[in-house]
Amino acid sequence: MFQMLDDLTDPADHLALDEAILMRDSADLGSFQPWEILRVWEFMQPVVVAGRSSRIREEIDVDYCQAMMIPILRRCTGGASVVAGPGCLMYSVVLDHAVHEGLRKIDAAHQYVMSRVLAAVQQQLPSATLQGICDLTWQNRKCSGNSLRVTRDRILYHGTVLYDFDLAMLSRCLLTAPRQPDYREGRDHATFVTNVPVNSTKLAAHLVDKFEVRERVDAKDLQSQVLKLREQRYESQKWHFRLE
């Protein structure tokens, strides 16, 4: 697996880069076969990211976000809306079906990725665990969520780990979750979500270890694809607000 390095600052570029990695043409890969990527990063500013099929006004307090100048964007993967930014470590994993044929099954994909994310977090926080379908939790509170997209050739699986995030802001940005795991027991965001006491630099290194990264590649090689996706989707309010 390769670790992709970037110096992106615009939230839309991060979303475009994840999709560009997933959709990269196999004919362009050359020596980068199989195309399997780990990316560990953070948004430089607070941002709300809706799922591909999220209905914005059912999941997000749009008026509050606009008043606070918090951008609302839409990603290419499923799942519900999330709030991210400084203090929320992001990971993105792209896996090749030629290597991992079984990951076309969603349960297998969750198990493969989240067992490694859990193992990385447990290097600093042994009591962390998995609950629900694929939530990373600590002390029975959620500290990490994720989403995925499966294509013919690959799977993109990406998610969050909260370690020093503004949870009060998260509670204001998001409305009541439309789908809730049983272990949530009806708790609101403030009593359900938590930060975990981990060092983010060490966690990033542990993720690199658990996913067995062997080389690094530069995101600049995908610059043209990122720009194209920005023009098609990630600069467009019609894309971000296509389902209100």
Pick from 130, 128, 95, 129: nearest CA to 211 = 95
Q: What is the CA radius of gyration of the chain?
A: 17
Domain limits for position 53 = 2-240
At 23 the pLDDT is 94
DSSP state of 43: -
At 26 the pLDDT is 78
pLDDT in tens, 18-27: 999 999 987 7
Report the length, in residues, of the chain. Answer: 244
At 97 the pLDDT is 93
At 156 the pLDDT is 98
pLDDT in tens, 78-109: 999 999 999 999 999 999 999 998 999 999 99
Q: Alpha-carbon distance 3 to 54, whole Å?
A: 29
The SS3 call for residue 202 is helix
Strand order through the sheet with 72-74: 72-74, 47-50, 82-84
Q: Which residues of the chain have pLDDT under 50?
A: none
The total of structural domains in the chain comes to 1
The CATH number of the domain holding residue 226 is 3.30.930.10
